[in-house]
Amino acid sequence: MYEQEFNETIGLIAKQNEWRLRTINLIASENVMSRRVRSMSGSDFVHRYAEGHPGERYYRGTNYIDEIESQLKANLKILFNCNHTEVRPISGTNANEAVFSKFVKREDVVMVNSTPSGGHISHHRLGSLGKFTQNLIDFPLTKDGYHIDIEKTKFLIKAAKPKILVLGKSLFLFPDPVQELSDLCNENRIKLIYDGAHVLGLIAGKKFQDPLREGACLITASTHKTFFGSQRGMILSNMDADGWRKIDRGAFPGSSSNHHLDTLAQLALSTCEFMEFGQQYAEDVITNAKTLAEELDRLGFDVVGKEFGFTESHQVAVNVSKCGGGEKVSRTLEINDIILNMNMLPHEPLSNHDHPDGVRIGVQEMTRCGMKKDEMIKIAALMKECIIDKKSVKDEVNRFRRDYQEIKYSFDGNAS
């Protein structure tokens, strides 16, 4: 009986692998690893443990992973121009947990981006941050809803006296005002934390903002969105040794034990690829996002942020309330093998969570599959035909996707 279930599960995995190669994936929080990096899944590291730091493990038999982890951390320090790197968190939320657990006390006030304005669930009362304090207040927004109102925020900081500011979002079209708020934070001993999960690759590629240089005390992030690594997390900082010691203990034993050595090795490989190809990749991602946004707007979609150039990241946000809303539009596109997610937009009530007005689009994965500006124009046309013209485009999507099976910005072409 269980062998049959075993074989059925293998069949489902095979179907997933085959199906995804036919789809246009526009989920803003996903990416693909190169063929050579992906082939390292299932190495002996998948069975092993390595608690602690390289050279200081609680387990024996860690010589090789010690070398890999040490080299990874050295490369990340170069890539992000930082003094400290923590690579043991196994997700972005796990990285946030390590930080919040050491710097947030029950009575502390923390300022965050609200859910409608793009804040991640780990920054909120029901997520990781809510385990440590319920005293959360939202950043005030400018009239457009996609930027923090700096003057109102400064006034609120003086009035509410927060201990922590958490910048960074899940709906992240434009840079957050790190530099504009850093002096006030320093004057009032406020820690400015930047969640760079979505834009880590754009930061590494020198095409977005540089939060550490602009005044953030640390960056938390996941490693598989615009940074095309395995699914893990990291923390980066230039803070002093005492502060970093807290982060170290927050990561282990605070929020992790063994830290999934197989995916750590893959992250080391992906980081080498990013050091080689990352700047061009980041530039192409942003160019593609702008192109897709402009074309969707030209074809009649209500693309947000037009007055600011639509986007400065990998993301595009579209108000599809006139097309039936985000839930309906995302389902219709999925039926046609175009994959994206519904998303709340600023100024929507939280009650709209399950049926929001918007959809969120990310171009980073299709960019890594070799798509450029012409392909973005084609994707916009397919979306228009599907949603506005109400036609089936599944067969055309599948034919179009056949030509984009190789992973670019990688060492795959140099395989021996």
pLDDT in tens, 185-208: 999 999 999 999 999 999 999 999
Q: At what angle do helices 373-383 and 394-401 cross, to 10 degrees?
A: 170
Please determine, for residue 415, whether its predicted confidence score (pLDDT) is greater than 50: no
Integer Cα distance of 289 and 296 in angstroms: 11
In a domain, residue 144? The reply is yes
- How many CB atoms within 10 Å of residue 213? 13
**Residue 11: predicted pLDDT:** 98
Asked if residue 346 and residue 290 are part of one domain, the reply reads: yes
Asked if residue 358 and residue 300 are part of one domain, the reply reads: yes
pLDDT in tens, 116-126: 888 888 888 77
Integer Cα distance of 228 and 231 in angstroms: 9
Cα–Cα nearest to 145, from 13, 297, 308, 11: 308
Cα–Cα nearest to 320, from 341, 303, 295, 297: 303
pLDDT in tens, 207-234: 999 999 999 999 999 999 999 999 999 9
In a domain, residue 23? The reply is no
CATH code, domain carrying 250: 3.40.640.10
Asked if residue 262 and residue 115 are part of one domain, the reply reads: yes
Asked if residue 330 and residue 222 are part of one domain, the reply reads: no
Mean pLDDT of 139-154: 95
Cα–Cα nearest to 56, from 46, 70, 44, 45: 70
**Residue 238: predicted pLDDT:** 96
Judge contact between 281 and 307, C-beta under 8 A: no
Predicted confidence band of residue 408 (pLDDT cuts 50, 70, 90): very high
In a domain, residue 138? The reply is yes
Mean pLDDT of 31-44: 96
Judge contact between 397 and 22, C-beta under 8 A: yes
Mean pLDDT across the chain: 95
Predicted confidence band of residue 50 (pLDDT cuts 50, 70, 90): very high
In a domain, residue 191? The reply is yes
Q: At what angle do helices 92-103 and 241-249 cross, to 10 degrees?
A: 120
Tally of domains within the chain: 2
Last residue of a domain, one of 245, 270, 295: 270
**Residue 257: predicted pLDDT:** 84
Predicted confidence band of residue 416 (pLDDT cuts 50, 70, 90): very low
In a domain, residue 193? The reply is yes
**Residue 352: predicted pLDDT:** 87
Asked if residue 308 and residue 204 are part of one domain, the reply reads: no
Asked if residue 345 and residue 401 are part of one domain, the reply reads: yes
Asked if residue 304 and residue 234 are part of one domain, the reply reads: no
| Domain span holding position 393 | 280-412
CATH code, domain carrying 308: 3.90.1150.10
pLDDT in tens, 362-395: 999 999 999 999 999 999 999 999 999 999 999 9
Percent of the chain's residues with pLDDT above 70? 99
Asked if residue 169 and residue 143 are part of one domain, the reply reads: yes
Judge contact between 176 and 168, C-beta under 8 A: yes
Give the phi and the psi of residue 330 in degrees, each rounded to 5.
Answer: -65, -35
Last residue of a domain, one of 242, 270, 298: 270
284-287 long-range contacts (CB < 8 A, ≥24 apart) are 284/367, 284/372, 285/201, 285/202, 285/207, 285/226, 285/314, 285/363, 285/364, 285/367, 286/202, 286/207, 286/311, 286/312, 286/313, 286/314, 287/372, 287/373
Please determine, for residue 61, whether its predicted confidence score (pLDDT) is greater than 70: yes
Asked if residue 287 and residue 258 are part of one domain, the reply reads: no
Integer Cα distance of 111 and 129 in angstroms: 11
Asked if residue 224 and residue 286 are part of one domain, the reply reads: no
DSSP element (H, E) containing 136: strand 136-138
CA 416 to chain centre: 32
The sign of the torsion formed by the CA atoms of 359, 364, 370, 373 equals positive
In a domain, residue 104? The reply is yes
Query: In the sheet where 191-195 sits, what is the strand order?
Result: 84-86, 233-237, 218-222, 191-195, 164-167, 110-112, 136-138
**Residue 119: predicted pLDDT:** 84
Asked if residue 395 and residue 285 are part of one domain, the reply reads: yes
In a domain, residue 331? The reply is yes
Asked if residue 320 and residue 174 are part of one domain, the reply reads: no
**Residue 229: predicted pLDDT:** 97
In a domain, residue 313? The reply is yes
Give the phi and the psi of residue 106 in degrees, each rounded to 5.
Answer: -55, -35
Integer Cα distance of 126 and 120 in angstroms: 11
